[in-house]
Amino acid sequence: MNIAKLNEDRGIEKPDLIKIIYEDRQISNREIVREGRKLGAALKNLGVKRGDRIIVQAPNCPEVLYAFSAAWRLGAVIVPINHMIGEEETAHIYKDSGAKIVISSKMYLPKIRACQAKAPDMKTVILIENEAVEGTFSYHSLVDQSPEDPAIVDTGDDDIAALIYTAGTTGKAKGVIHTHGTLYANAAMQHQTFPPTDGMTYISILPLCHSYGIASTNMSLFRSNRSVLLNSFDLNVIFSSIEKYSANILAAVPTMYVYMLLYPEPKKFNLSSMKYWVSGSAPLAVETWNKFKNMYGFEIIEGWGLTEAGANNSCNPMHGLKKIGSIGLPMVGTDMRIVDDYGKELPAGEKGEIVIRGPQIMKGYWNRPDETAQAIRDGWLHTGDVGYVDGDGYFWITDRKKDLIIKGGENISPRTIEEILYTCPYVSEAAVIGVKDEKYGEEIKAFVVLHPGEKATADDILAFSKSKLTNFLLPKYIVFLEAMPKSLVGKILKTELRKM
């Protein structure tokens, strides 16, 4: 199985179907197939072969989708990364993945150059702009000069298709290995779980560097829909696009819905064509659900998933009983259980860890066999989320085993921030936790202990942090302590910090 082959077969069936609308440009299946073939030929000419990793580091645009197709045609591996992450994390992904090619935009070239110095194997830079930049290739020049090559490598279900990096509680981002088979399985599950929606129009605002966005895009393997592809979160653009194209479906994260509630003119655009508003990637507050229904008249459909399992694993029904605050029912083909610390299944109503099993589960973590063995035990993926299942089979999340902070649908590693705080000349010790926030779901709270005799304010700590962290990773709250609460062996007790 090769995802590129399946997508191309769908495109050839209906070559004139408009598949993507981007900045009012309508792109047909015929054009998508042609671009994938030509870019594949260009990458092959640059030496890309089966198993090679290709970084895609750009905001949503058609070229990102073409890059996915072109890489998979060659049996290569896509490594989509968030173009907004910092230099250190970007360089880590370059090195850890072993990629030698990056497809990006010239606006990120300074960061790319800095990362190349730390990851010398990254030799080739392809920029999606038309004009050439010294030491790089122009994406469009490569494509224009390349023939249409219809050849597609015959990959197996177990061949790697994507490395999707996710922040972990240990600090360094981990590469989640997804194969052609696991990506296909997750798309099939979504298709079987949700009613057929052929002919509908999607508003695609989820970033294609995120597993949630990739999973939603892969629905095209089974359905003839079109997508209005957006490269930023702008409510005027989103709402006007819904009205202009009579859109029907939008998948978003809770923070986006919070901003919709803050929109000053909720009746400005005609949104009556919309049928499905989907939320995932982070917990959706019941208050947000209720306010959205009151303001816009629509019910949000909340789901849940994780990158290690293809991103979409459970969901409230599109039609039928929605239990507000729950993550709904397992998708077709997915087994979900609540287990205790020994892996024993617990009865309805009892809290434990959520574990899942199915053909969409990752192959493992890239170059991390020990962590893979810890995460997948006896075929069950241990999610680290704590919750319970009720008598109707709906699952509820009540807590998180891991310390991972989920802000605005994005995973943030506390240790990433802690490591920066430890480099601050004022700070002796630091610990970071997530706290509830109405806008983002969670916000960042930092506890610090100053060096003896040192004096500093929260503004001083923030000023230092701003030179090392993006605004998104800056702590919203900074608390000064005389000493950290610790265990007998000296481990900082974050459970005690949370009580504060």
Count of residues in the chain: 500
pLDDT for the residue 211:
87
Q: How far is CA 302 from the centre of its chain?
A: 16
pLDDT greater than 70 at residue 170: no
Does one domain contain both 100 and 142?
A: yes
Give per-residue pLDDT as tens, 330-381: 999 999 999 998 999 999 999 899 999 999 999 999 999 999 999 999 999 9
Q: Across residues 310-329, what is the average pLDDT?
A: 92
Least confident of 179-188, 280-289, 386-395: 280-289
Specify the pairing of strand 405-407 against strand 410-412.
Answer: antiparallel
Other C-beta atoms within 10 Å of 453: how many? 5
Does one domain contain both 384 and 244?
A: yes
Domain count, the chain: 3
pLDDT for the residue 324:
92
CA distances for 406 relative to 165, 260, 280, 281, 340, angstroms: 15, 19, 11, 8, 24
Does one domain contain both 273 and 327?
A: yes
Does one domain contain both 364 and 494?
A: no
Q: Across residues 489-497, what is the average pLDDT?
A: 73
Q: Give the chain's end-to-end CA distance (angstroms, integer).
A: 52
pLDDT for the residue 56:
97
pLDDT greater than 90 at residue 235: yes
CA distances for 301 relative to 281, 320, 356, angstroms: 12, 11, 21
Q: Mean pLDDT across the chain, nearest whole number?
A: 91
**What is the CA angle 214-215-218, rounded to 5?**
85
In a domain, 71, yes or no: yes
Does one domain contain both 345 and 424?
A: no
Structure tokens at 223: 């359905």
Structure tokens at 267: 């009746």
Does one domain contain both 380 and 436?
A: no
Residue 287 — very low, low, confident or very high, per pLDDT cuts 50/70/90? confident
DSSP state of 202: E
Nearest to 74 by CA among 173, 172, 159, 189: 159
Last residue of a domain, one of 111, 136, 155: 155
Does one domain contain both 228 and 341?
A: yes
pTM for the structure as a whole: 0.83
pLDDT for the residue 489:
44
In a domain, 171, yes or no: no
Q: Across residues 440-465, what is the average pLDDT?
A: 93
Q: Across residues 178-185, what is the average pLDDT?
A: 96
pLDDT greater than 70 at residue 490: no
pLDDT greater than 80 at residue 302: yes
Residue 415, C-beta contacts closer than 8 angstroms, at least 6 positions apart: 169, 170, 171, 432
Give per-residue pLDDT as tens, 133-163: 999 999 999 999 999 999 999 999 999 999 9
In a domain, 254, yes or no: yes
Does one domain contain both 142 and 283?
A: no
pLDDT greater than 60 at residue 169: no
Any bridge partners for residue 228, and if so which?
A: 21, 203
Does one domain contain both 229 and 355?
A: yes
Does one domain contain both 223 and 150?
A: no
pLDDT greater than 80 at residue 171: no
Specify the pairing of strand 441-450 against strand 77-80.
Answer: unpaired
pLDDT greater than 50 at residue 61: yes
Nearest to 19 by CA among 28, 6, 10, 30: 28
In a domain, 104, yes or no: yes
Residue 8: give its domain's CATH number: 3.40.50.980
Other C-beta atoms within 10 Å of 225: how many? 17
Least confident of 166-175, 184-193, 381-390, 411-420: 166-175
DSSP state of 345: B
Distance between CA 21 and CA 8 in Å, rounded?
18
In a domain, 65, yes or no: yes
pLDDT for the residue 493:
81
Domain extent for 342: 184-400
Does one domain contain both 129 and 10?
A: yes
Buried b (16+ CB within 10 A) or exposed e, 486-497: eeeeeebebeeb
pLDDT for the residue 491:
64
Q: Is the torsion defined by CA of 215, 219, 220, 224 positive or negative?
A: negative
Contact 53, 95 (CB under 8 A): no
Q: Across residues 210-233, what is the average pLDDT?
A: 88
Residue 468: give its domain's CATH number: 3.30.300.30
Last residue of a domain, one of 137, 155, 173: 155
pLDDT greater than 60 at residue 308: yes
Nearest to 161 by CA among 212, 214, 116, 119: 214
Specify the pairing of strand 376-377 against strand 380-389.
Answer: antiparallel
Distance between CA 396 and CA 325 in Å, rounded?
7
Q: Across residues 408-413, what is the average pLDDT?
A: 82
In a domain, 170, yes or no: no
Does one domain contain both 112 and 238?
A: no
Q: Is the torsion defined by CA of 170, 173, 174, 178 positive or negative?
A: positive
In a domain, 178, yes or no: no
Task: Report the percentage of the chain scoring pLDDT > 70.
Answer: 97
In a domain, 174, yes or no: no
Residue 359: give its domain's CATH number: 3.40.50.12780
Torsion of CA 425, 426, 429, 432, to 10 degrees: -100
Last residue of a domain, one of 400, 430, 457: 400
- The SS3 call for residue 37 is helix
Residue 488 — very low, low, confident or very high, per pLDDT cuts 50/70/90? very low
